[in-house]
Structure formats: structure tokens, C-alpha cells
Structure 1
């Protein structure tokens, strides 16, 4: 087993890393250590030779601002290391395990005459094997898993007939992947290389000669494009996903300068190739918003003039599509800070795109945690330039994803009203908030898990429960499992908070409480605890116990229990005595009638 110590917070190119040759595998990261970089231990294993991928892992981590330590299992020792608790894998205790599977290990040679049911039995056996590996690693090591799945082999065999033959390698792989995706995934990030192969050329990037020659999963020439894909999986595993796309306006969302060219002079529509390309880019951005990506504008412009661009007859995007609209003559780094503050998300959640290299350079220098994409050249390439970064890679959708932009727009509208309010109680009353707390139904469990996995700020314990654990809590009727929704006069925010209380005799212990950042500071937490108290009293509970575990991002809730009337009884341990009939905490959220 090889163990390497890589230290850096800079972003060297993959070409720089590969040019160092064997010195990377045998030595230390050749850049100065940055003291405040978070260290991350990543272990690579699988059914292929993974030496070259270690370098990609190191680069991906460095580009994400992490200081990586990378280790790997020996070729052929994948299952032994997983099943043997005395293996070095268990002594290393990695934060993330990257599993690399090749297609040869995932498919079986099945007679073409086999029925669908016979093929399904064979695929199901492989699914069960993989799920058992995931469960073992997550339960025994507590690691996050990224599992890389290969593209199907480039075999046509008998042409169109093969495409619809259940036993074909391609159909086995797709069936396997779909069944795993629909199963309890234990928070695993599934990295699918099928689309990557189509975009980068399957015959070259996954050439048979590199497999037969060295059992390599990817040809060296494909590694530079693989790094951003791997980065997206790391963000998913570490809950640092990108949430918002922040866009410039002139020569980004339309051709020309709205202040100089006017509405009729900007390029949009179908009159020429350039106009059509800008319209296609707008359609792409609109599609991202429909799938849960928050949209914002950061432009050097007069705000009233800037809005005119969306009045163009061919504009697909409208002013209302943006949750934040920062137009001024100030620098864009300052504008991005305001956007992050107004949306109540981290700067590291933003992807900023601009056609101006100077603006991009400034943001990269001042805000390195913001992903910056320079949209230079032909607008026909704008979509590809964003897609090449794999910035928005969701594992699954929830119903709330499809209404997220509207919810953040409602938050923005509420902030505007707040700025004109004379006092906080008057403002909160004016929001006309209505809340609902219900035991989640089956179709809500995925959202319950997603909220716990993604939320970093209002997250008291940061335990990241999976579906299996949530269902286990739901199985006991004495436990309190609340899925909490909120509406106000500006819109429906959907399911935005989850609280789980585990009943132990006469005691209720809060084991998870998370809330979306877009409804902070509205007394919704007070509304929820009042409902918890009422439900606890109905169950004969005499004491509620809550804990707080500090992280780098959840300081906002460090005093939550004190604010709700709990008493500190031990370090980070709080209690609320229900035998004293505590008064309800003041809230401006009304209980929904049904």
C-alpha cells in the first residue's frame, strides 16, 4: 500500500503535476504548506490500477482548497482490504474512499437467450454485493464514499439488436447503475463516466490498449478533463456543493451593452448566429434554475437600465428569475459578498461567470473560494465552458429543488420589505407566516435526508443521517420526527426544517435539527420547539435534552438552546424541564389549519 503526503492550497495544473513523474508518488507535495488548509485523507481502491488517479485526487483536493493525504490499496486487494478489519485501510481511517470499478468486474457473460428475469437475478446479486460494501465502509469507518462507474464498452456486436438485448454489457451496466441509484445509497456519491466518455471520446479516453497494457481505468490524455468531474464528487461528499450561478449581463446574457445599444440593439433571438447563441445560453441558464440552481446577477450597470435587457422580446430570462440582483459601479468582489449575504449562503457556494478577464481575475484574487468561469470568445461555447466545470452535479432531485429559485426570490422580497420596516416584530408580523409540522410521508424521506446532508449552518450536530436511519426513527411511534414547512405572503418555502427527537423513557433527546438558511431569524425555530413541547407533553415526556456540536460553519446556532429557554447542564448539553410547564416561546409563525 502506498501512502503519500500532499500539501498545498494552490491550484497547479494537471500538466504541472504529471510532469513531475515518479516524484509525486514517492515524495511530498512540491508546494509550500498553507497552515489554514483543511487536511483531507482520501483512500483510492478498486478493480483497476489507480496510481495515476492518485495524482488527480491530489490536484482535485488542492483546487478545492484542501491539503490532501492520499493512499491506495494494492492492485487486486480491494475486497481483502474492505473485508479485513486488520487491513491498513482501517488503520488509516480515511475521510473519503474513492472506489474505482471497471466494466469487466461489473458484468457477466450471459447467454443471449436469457430472459429479463434471469438477467435481473444476476444484476441484483452484483447490486447486493456493492451495497454491502457501501454499508460496511460507512458503518465501520464512518467514511464518505465516491464510487466511480465505468462507461459501457464500445462494442456494437450486432448493431441495433444489441442495444435492446437485456444481456448486453451496456444494458447490464445501466440496469446495475439504476438499481443502485434507487436503493439506499448511504450518502455515496455515484460518479458516472458514461457521459464523460461520450464527451471525451470513448475509443481514445477508454482505449482497450490502456486496460490490457496496465489495467488503467482512463487513458492519460483523459485525466485533465477527469479532474473537474472528480472535484464535483468531492464537493458532494464534503457537502460543499455549489448552489448559485451568478451572472454578468452585457456580452454574457446578451450580446452588446444595454446602456449603449438599448433594448432593440442587443443580440438575442434568431436574427443571426450570435443572437441565437445568446438565446440558447439563456435557455440553458433557465433550465438550471428550474432544477434548483439559484440565479443571481452581479453587473457593473445602472440597475434600472440593466433590467431593460429582460424586456427584450426574445429574452427567455426575466428579472423575476433572479433571487439576487446586484447592479452598481462598485467592484464585483464586493457585489458577490453582498449576494452571498443576502441569500444567506457561503461564498464557496457561488459560481461566477463573466466575459471580462479583468473582473474574473479580480474575483479569483479576492475571493478564491468562488468558482470563476471566464466566458471569452464565441457565445456558442458558453454552455460548454460552464459544463466543463461540473459545477452543478445533483445525485437526486427533490420537490423542493424545483421551487428553490422561487423560494429565494421570496426571501429577497422579504429582505426588501425588512429594509423599510420600523421594527422587527412589525416586519415579522407583516410576513404573514404559516408553518406546518408533520411526520414525513414516504415521498418526503428523500428531502428529509437531503436537507440533513446539505445543511451546514443551522445544523446542531451535523450527523448526516441516511434513509435507513430516518426510517428507523420513524418506526418507533414514540419518537418525534418533524418535517417542517413554511409559507409567507411572498411564497411557499416548502420543507425547510427537520427535527428528530429520540424517546428514552420520560426523556426526549434531540438527535437532529436542521433548517434551510433561507428562513433563518424568522422565529420559525421558536414555532418548531413549541410544537415539539406540545408533542412531548402528549407522550408523557418530562424532559427534552439537546446537544450542540460546533463546526466551522454552525456558530449561528451556538446559543439556540439558551434562546429557547433550555438550561445548560454540561458542556454543550442543554435541558428543558417540562414538569415546570414552560411557557410557549414567542413566535410570529401561525400554525396551519391543516
Structure 2
């Protein structure tokens, strides 16, 4: 299997067979790194042996479009490695996966007649783990992924008093609540609810024989669940989450074929199967509330669809829920490509849900970067099909995420408004564009890191500064990290850009500048460069340096620095702006505003 093959990767991602994925991971680790996949480094620390976890994690990460270098720590070094914060012998990893079992928390021997003593020990070990994690985070920018821990049956069933059994169960619930709370205390921590996942799993958490024989903490199935959660964290951290959900209608958002059954004959709401389709719509609406952009892609009669969207009493998603509606008889791949273009996004930002194998196959062939999900079969499984792979996961929801559906509807209004102007400058002037720069704050640092991770087109150096690094730079006297908000007559676009700058006396250097593709073509990038130049000159700098590092996706930004007035530097890809004279004017159609709280 070629790691870069999209259908093969999707098979890995959707498979729930731990034996298959274990074998696949073992073979994948023998292959050279795939340059077309996002490179990710993962350190694994375990309170037991790692076993097949490395192979399962490899399959999970490759399935999501990442090429992993996984470094399992030495057996028996869990605590000392956490305390030192040195997870690998090389560079700082992107993620650290903590594989834990009950052995870390339980004493080697305990008395069932002294539950308070047991509780004191477990709570003490939870406190020690919290201190170890805090110590480790002080020396790394990695995202640390840990998990809740199942209570072993031999502990639970070893208590003959039902009251004591309930007390220990309550103790273990507090332990797992404390593990989950670590994610609230530390932005770099993600806690996966393994206990909750196992409740839905068709396999046991542990094989007692393998546990005793090889100190394997969990079954392959349980380890696969955990690998999936680490994959979701890695995917979100790397900016590989999707922004758009494109949906079919017939036998996807409702049961039946509208053209045959009519508006009153489709299955939606009420008893099964109509209730399954309504639950899907409710889940889709919740995704939209969290920033997912919805696109309608259906081969149907537009007038009939409008009738259902507006008038069906069980319809959860009205016409205004969709940023783009492509209801016609064109090929769906063509409609998805056009929808992505109108939104200013790539088809690689899309997830497509459809019941037709023909449509799914055509979209996969024409748009290989689009995630295609199968809506055929029993509609009771539709919600699970949509949500289980976590394609829309982000580490933190930002204000811009929550506003995204409205922002992209406003984009469509701008497109309509642009007709009727004699020139693009007339249009831009009429838009009333406003740019608001500000140093990054605790409220905007997550958005800045998200832009670094997810922006590909206007990403000038490819440096993807994460939240921990961005936070550290924002408090350093040697750095400036700034965010940029944009608004116009149609509303607020939110934080659409960020810059990371190193300040070294009279020499400032732009480490990276990223800008959302949805505001390209308006001169915002030039206004940002002008603002940076003025900030540097006001601070006494005499030169502003910058770089452009070409990638497969950032060709749109290739000539940016020269357009902004910079001269080519001595090194290839380097640029310099002389600040001994006043920088040029900002684009005349953009008003610069300073935040009152900056």
C-alpha cells in the first residue's frame, strides 16, 4: 500500500479492525517518509509496555494524512522522563502520548477494609502526575495527550461490601475527572476519555493473560481507540481539520427521493427511519454552531428543495443554514469545485456525505483531497458515520470559528455586491475595509496558532508556531506577535492574519506572516506589511527583514515582499526593507484602526 494513496489512507482511517491496522502499521514503518504527507513526531511514554500501540498509532496517523516518526520511551522510565521533559534524543516532538494504566495510581498492595487509605494514595498519585505534567510542559511546546483509565474488574469485584465497591467506583470517577481537568488547567494538554469510548466498544479493555505475561495494559481494540484519539489531536494541531461539510439530500438528509415521493412523502422525523434523518440534521446543525460551513450538493429540482427547506415541519436545516446551495443536475464534483471557489477555499477543506456509490466514487476520483463519507445503509448509523473520525476537530474553539458560517455567507453577499463597479479599486473603496492590528493576547493566541497551523496559501515561510510557542514569544521582549482583524460594510471577518517577528535592536525579522485566503485580493497583506514597517521604524529599527519559502500551496504569495516594497536580500528567498526613510503609503481604500485595549 502506498502511503500517499488517498483511497488507501481513507481505508486505514475508517477501519475498525485492530488486526488489520496493526499489520498495516508494521509495514508502513518500513517505508521511507512520504514527503506529500504532513510530517509529525510523537513521543510515547508508558507506565507498562507499549506493545502494538506504535503500529496502531502509525496506521491512524497515516490514515489522516500525516507521516509519523514515533519514539517509544524506554520501559520503566515514565516518571523520570516526564520530570525531565526530555522526551526524545532529538528535537522537541509535536505530540507526547501518555499510555497509562492503573499501576501508576494503585499501591502494590492495599486493604479492602481501609478504603480511605486507598483513596488517599490514589489522590496523592493524581497530584504527583499533575506536578510531573506541569514540569514537563515547562520544557516543551509539544501537545501532551493523556487519557482516562479504566477501573480493573479485579479491583472492583475484589470488594465484597457493596457500599465499599460504590465508594471505590466513586474514587475512580474522581481520578478520571482529575485527569480530564488537566486539559482545563494546561492548554497544551488533551485528555481522551478512553473509559467513555470503551463503554461503546465491542471488546474488552484488557486481556488478562497478556497483561500478566507481557505487561500489556490493554487489548489491541482498546489501544486502537486511544490511537484514534491521539490522531484526532495530531490532526487538529497540524491544521488538517476540515471547514466545510457538503451534504446530499435524498437518502442522506431525509429518506426517500424527493422527485418521486414529493415534499410530503419524504421520511423525516417521527418514527424510524425518519427519526434517524432528523438526528443527523440536528448533529449537522450543532456542527454549524461550532463553525462548520455547510454546502448543499444535490441532483434535484431546486424549486422542490426550496419547498422542503422552507415548509417541512420536521426540517431542522433551513435555506439560511447553507453558505452555498448547489441544487441542479450537474456532476457533484463540478458543483463542489465551484462551491469551494466561491467560498475562497480548497476542495481539500471539504467533507462530502452522500449515499450514492457512483457520486462518492466520482468525487473521490475528481477531488482526491476531499473526504468522502458513505451515507448508504441503515440511517441509524448516519450520525456515527459523520462524527466518528473527527474531521472537524480543533484544539480550541475561537471566536472566529463560531462566526465562520456567517462570515462565509457574508462573503457571498460581497460577491453579489462586486457587480456593477467600474474597477476593482472602486469596489474595494465602497467596501469600507478596516484593518485592526493588535499584539496577541490570551484571548487571541489560540486563533493565531490556529492560523499558523491551517493556513497554506498565504503562509510565507511555513513556520507553524503552535499555541505554546506563540504564547512564549508574546511575552518575550525579543519578539512581537500580532494579530489582524478585518471588517467592512458587510460585517466583521474576525482575526484573519498573524505575524511573528524577532526584534534584534535595529534589525527586525519577520519569522512568518499568514493571512486567511478569504481576504486575499483586498490589499490587506500590503497594509499589514506597512504596519509592520511602521512599528519597526518607531522602535528604532533601520531594516526589516523577511523571507519567502516556497511550498506546493503558497505560490500565490511568491511575489508579495517585492510588491510590498522590499528588495531582494543576499540569500535566496530573503528580502529587506530600508527603514531609514519613511515607508510608503498604505492602500488608500483601507482604514487602519488601533484597538483601544492594545
Bucket of the pairwise TM-score, normalised by the shorter protein: 0.7 to 0.9
- The alpha carbon displacement at 1:261 in A equals 3.7
Contact 2:84–2:135 at 8 Å: present in 1 too?
no
Per-residue deviation at 1:411? 1.9
For 2:246 and 2:47, the matched residues in 1 are separated by 40
Find the counterpart in structure 2 of residue 440 from structure 1.
440
Distance in 2 (alpha carbons) for counterparts of 1:94 and 1:356: 45
For the residue of structure 2 that corresponds to 1:377, the secondary structure is coil
User: TM-score, normalised to structure 1's length?
Assistant: 0.83
**Shift in CA distance, 531/36, structure 1 to aligned 2, threshold 3 Å:** closer
Higher mean C-alpha deviation, range 255-264 or range 509-518: 255-264
- Correspondences of 1:134-153 after superposition (within 5 Å): 134=137, 136=139, 138=141, 147-153=145-151
Query: Paired residues, what number?
Result: 578
Instruction: Give 3-state SS (helix, strand or coil) of 1:317's partner.
Output: coil
Q: For residues 589 and 104 of structure 2, what CA distance do their matches in structure 1 show? A: 55
Per-residue deviation, 1:36: 5.6
Deviation of the 1:213 alpha carbon = 4.1
- Corresponding position of 1:578: 579
Alpha-carbon separation, structure 2, partners of 1:453 and 1:67: 16
Gapped runs of 5+ residues in structure 2?
none
Could you tell me whether the CA contact under 8 Å between 2:83 and 2:132 is conserved in 1? no
On the 8 A contact 1:165/1:171 being kept in 2, the answer is no
Structure 2 counterpart of 1:128: 131
> Secondary structure of 2:105's match?
coil
Q: For residues 136-535 of structure 1, what are the structure 2 equivalents within 5 Å?
A: 136=139, 138=141, 147-153=145-151, 168-185=171-188, 190-200=191-201, 204-206=204-206, 210-222=210-222, 228-270=228-270, 272-311=271-310, 312-418=312-418, 421-475=421-475, 480-535=480-535
Q: Please, what is the CA RMSD of the aligned residues? A: 4.0
In the alignment, the residues of structure 2 paired with residue 115 and residue 66 of structure 1 have an alpha-carbon distance, to the nearest angstrom, of 42
Contact kept in structure 2, 1:48 and 1:75, CA below 8 Å: yes
Residues 326-369 of structure 1: per-residue CA shift (max 9 Å, x gap): 23322222222223333333333221101112211222333333
Residues 213 and 120 of structure 1, relative CA distance in 2, 3 Å threshold: closer
Give distance in 2, aligned partners of 1:381 and 1:559. 49
SS in 2 for 1:170: helix
Larger displacement relative to structure 2 (12-21 or 336-345)? 12-21
Distance 1:123 1:209 in 2: 27
Cα deviation for residue 220 of structure 1 reads 2.8
Deviations 1:524-558 (CA, angstroms, capped at 9, x unpaired): 12222333333334333332222223333333222
**How far has the Cα of 1:105 moved from its partner?**
5.2
Q: How far does residue 280 in structure 1 lie from its aligned partner after superposition? A: 1.8
1:539 equivalent in structure 2: 539
Mapped partners of 1:162, 1:416: distance in 2: 66
Q: CA deviation at 1:252?
A: 1.4
C-alpha distance in 2 between matches for 1:481 and 1:152: 42
Change (3 A) 1:180 1:162: farther
Structure 1, unmatched stretches of 5+, are 139-143
CA distance in 1, matches of 2:190, 2:554: 24
When residues 99 and 179 of structure 1 are mapped into structure 2, their CA distance, relative to the original with a 3 A threshold, is closer
Change (3 A) 1:492 1:97: closer
**For 1:276 and 1:238, how far apart are their aligned partners in 2?**
36
Counterpart in the other structure of 1:562: 562
Separation in structure 2 between the aligned mates of residue 304 and residue 193 of structure 1, nearest angstrom:
47
In structure 2, the CA distance between the partners of 1:592 and 1:41, relative to structure 1 (3 Å rule), is closer
Partners of 1:279 and 1:478 in 2: CA distance? 54
Task: Report what 2:100 is aligned to.
Answer: 102
Greater mean alpha carbon deviation, residues 345-354 or residues 55-64: 55-64
Determine the C-alpha separation between the residues in 2 that align with 1:562 and 1:534: 17
Are the counterparts in 2 of residues 527 and 587 from structure 1 also a CA contact under 8 Å? no
Q: CA deviation at 1:78?
A: 5.1
* Correspondence for 1:141: none
**Range with greater deviation from structure 2 (34-43 or 544-553):** 34-43
- After superposition, the Cα gap between the structure-2 partners of 1:539 and 1:449, relative to the gap in structure 1 and judged at 3 Å, is same
